[in-house]
Amino acid sequence: MNLRDVIPTAENSTNFNVVPESITEVGTTLDNLKAAVMGETGASAKYAACALAAKAQGYDQIARLFEATSAAEQIHIGLEAGVIQSVEPDYERPAAPDAEGIATDLNLIAGALGEIYETSDMYPSFIKVAQEEGDKKAEFVFTRAKLAEAVHAELYMDAYNNIDCPDNDAYYLCPICGYIHKGDDFEKCPICFTPADKFRKF
C-alpha cells in the first residue's frame, strides 16, 4: 500500500463502495460493532490455528504472517469493543471459538476470501450506517479495519503465490490500526501514519 499525503478516510477515498450482491446483515451501528467484534474474534482464532498448522507443515514465514494477522484482528477487536463500551459499559467480548487449520495453501485462500469480504462488503456496509447515524467514532474504527483487511488479503495472496519460494522478510504490524508491512523498507503506516519503529516484528 503506497503512502498518501493524507491519512485515508471514507471521505477522501474511492474504494469504499459496497459490492452489489452484499451478504452483510446490517443493523444499527451498535449491532454492527458487535457483529464486527464477533467476526474479528473468529478470524483471529482461525489465523492463530493456521499459524500452528503452517509451522507444523514447514512454512515458517507463513506461520509468522498468520501470527501477525491474528494479532492485527485483536487490535480491531480492541478498537471496536472500546466504542461499544463507551455506550454499553457492561459489554463483554465474546470468547474465541474453536478453530483449526487445514493445508496452508487453502488456509491462505480462505483467509484472503474472508479479508476481501470484510473490506468490500462488511466494513463498507457498516461505514455507511455509521455515516447515516453520524457516529464518527464507529466510522473511524470501521475505516481503519477496512483499510487494513485489504492489505491482509494482499499479503495472503502474495504468500500463496510464493509458497514454494519464500524469502526471509519479516512482517511488521502497526500496533494502532492492524496494518501489516512485509519487509523493513518503510517509514510509517500508510493507514494511520504511525512510525515504523513503533511496529511489532513477526
Nearer of residues 91 and 193 to Fe ion, judged by Cβ: 193
**How many other β-carbons are positioned within 10 Å of the β-carbon of residue 6?**
8
Question: Least distance (Å) from Fe ion to the CB of residue 44?
Answer: 9
The C-alpha cell that represents 23 in the structure block: 451478504
- Considering only residues 111 to 130 of the shown chain, the ones binding Fe ion according to CB under 5 A are 115
Work out which of 149, 151, 173, 181 binds Fe ion, going by CB under 5 A. Answer: 149
Q: Are β-strands 200-201 and 180-182 bridged in parallel, bridged antiparallel, or unpaired?
A: unpaired
Note whether 176 binds Fe ion by CB under 5 A.
Answer: yes
Question: Least distance (Å) from Fe ion to the CB of residue 132?
Answer: 25
Work out which of 33, 108, 141, 174 binds Fe ion, going by CB under 5 A. Answer: 174
Question: Least distance (Å) from Fe ion to the CB of residue 126?
Answer: 15
Binding string, residues 151-170; x marks residues near Fe ion by CB under 5 A: -x------------------
- HEC profile of 103-131: CHHHHHHHHHHHHHHHHHHHHHHHHHHHH
Note whether 99 binds Fe ion by CB under 5 A.
Answer: no
Note whether 177 binds Fe ion by CB under 5 A.
Answer: yes
Note whether 191 binds Fe ion by CB under 5 A.
Answer: yes
Instruction: Supply the Cα-derived Rg of the chain in whole angstroms.
Output: 16
Note whether 108 binds Fe ion by CB under 5 A.
Answer: no
Nearer of residues 68 and 130 to Fe ion, judged by Cβ: 68
Binding segment for Fe ion (CB under 5 A), chosen from 22-30, 77-85, 128-136, 186-194, is 186-194
Can you say whether residue 152 is alpha, beta or left, with left for phi > 0 and alpha for psi between -120 and 50 degrees? alpha
Nearer of residues 115 and 135 to Fe ion, judged by Cβ: 115
Of 198, 181, 186, 191, which Cα lies nearest the Cα of 6?
191
Dist CA 19 CA 5 (whole Å): 27
Counting Cβ atoms within 10 Å, is residue 60 exposed (0-12), middle (13-18) or buried (19+)?
exposed
Chain positions contacting Fe ion, by CB under 5 A: 115, 149, 152, 174, 176-177, 179, 189, 191-192, 194
